[in-house]
Amino acid sequence: MPEVIRRSERKMTAGLKEQDIYDLIIIGAGPAGMSAGIYAARKLLKTLLISKNVGGQVTDAWEIDNYLGFSQVDPAGLIKKFNEHVEKFSIEKIIARHVASLQINDDIKSVTTDDGKTYYAKTLIIATGKRPRKLGLPEEKKLGGKGVAYCATCDAPLFAGADVAVAGGGNSALGAAMDLIKIANSVHIVSITPLTGDPIYQDKLRSSDKVTIYTEHEIVKLVGDTVLEGLEIRSLKTGETKRLDVEGLFVEIGLLPNSDIVKGMLNLNQYGEIVVDYKCHTGFPGVFACGDVTNVPFKQVIVAAGEGAKAALAAYEYLISGN
């Protein structure tokens, strides 16, 4: 650890020894968190990376064709490369655990995981990304993984020859429908608005005889006890309801930031994203955020990786100068 950090005079939480305290805990091992890990390690920060999974949303992508230096790389291959790079450095990792709560008020911050263990650090980087938005219907939880899916790239092959529906009208939904027409028997698109996804997708889908489009319709009920058997949809214009007999429903209605653990602690915008400045400062001393969980626009792998680098450098700057 750099001498300048060892000499830093920071208020210790009672009973904690210096060796129990990390310089930095990074929460999330998507592109942002992994990139932050590499930059922190190169600054010789004693770093702990805690994440539910490795790769984040990249694991849901079909193909990544816009990350500099990698043309048409499969997402698993890109994550493997990222992970191999992180593995080169001596970063401690806890994977397949999620952070359940945080305490950020003191100089020494604490992070508690779902198994009840608590870890301490002088700085934190929140790189928790986003998750799919749910419909909010009562049967949704019960039928999740039993016909109701949130990732067409991952689960579309399970519905070969089946009748399926896609909820949503944006690019994610239309992209899912494009995947599904290759393998499903029929695809119903149900959107509460007119379709907003790229016209090129719209044209292709409208010209497919497998596709039926219901715009200005909402899904009001999921039917099925143990597996999905159908949907009830309602026209927003006429109130008329209709049943669709489908075995699969892909919910593609946007993403929500994983910012619940900092709700009430950090400044969030109207979308629930953590508000950061150009150096990933959250406004709370020693707490930084990066990637898709923040208000930084353009949610892309390369942007998240760049923001992760900035967050680690900002954490280092804070450790050596207190700013």
Ligand X SMILES: Cc1cc2nc3c(=O)[nH]c(=O)nc-3n(C[C@H](O)[C@H](O)[C@H](O)COP(=O)(O)OP(=O)(O)OC[C@H]3O[C@@H](n4cnc5c(N)ncnc54)[C@H](O)[C@@H]3O)c2cc1C
Nearer to ligand X, 170 or 285 (CB): 170
Whether 60 is a known active-site residue: answer no
Measured from the CB of residue 279, what is the shortest distance to ligand X in angstroms? Answer: 17
State the residue number with the nearest CB to ligand X: 129
Nearer to ligand X, 8 or 153 (CB): 153
At 273, the amino acid letter reads: E
Nearer to ligand X, 180 or 233 (CB): 180
The residue from 23, 151, 179, 280 that is catalytic is 151
The residue from 155, 179, 280, 290 that is catalytic is 155
Burial class for 165, CB neighbours closer than 10 Å (0-12, 13-18, 19+): buried
CA separation, residue 59 to residues 213, 234, 242 (Å)? 28, 33, 35
Nearer to ligand X, 94 or 319 (CB): 94
Whether 280 is a known active-site residue: answer no
Burial class for 8, CB neighbours closer than 10 Å (0-12, 13-18, 19+): middle
Nearest to 295 by CA among 287, 54, 303: 303
Nearby residues of 205 by Cβ (< 8 Å), 6 or more positions away: 174, 177, 178, 181, 187, 189, 211, 213
Measured from the CB of residue 320, what is the shortest distance to ligand X in angstroms? Answer: 25
Measured from the CB of residue 30, what is the shortest distance to ligand X in angstroms? Answer: 2
Per the CB < 8 A criterion, the answer to whether 304 and 31 are in contact is yes
3-state secondary structure of 37: helix
At 69, the amino acid letter reads: G
Whether 151 is a known active-site residue: answer yes
The CA distance from 76 to 50, in Å, is: 20
Measured from the CB of residue 152, what is the shortest distance to ligand X in angstroms? Answer: 8
Place of tokens 């993403």: 255
The CA distance from 293 to 275, in Å, is: 9
The residue from 65, 74, 106, 154 that is catalytic is 154
Nearer to ligand X, 233 or 307 (CB): 307
- Binding region for ligand X (CB under 6 A): 27-33, 50-53, 56-58, 60-61, 64, 66, 98-99, 127-130, 153, 258, 261, 291-292, 299-302, 304
Nearest to 176 by CA among 253, 257, 76: 253
Measured from the CB of residue 169, what is the shortest distance to ligand X in angstroms? Answer: 16
Residues marked as catalytic:
151, 154-155
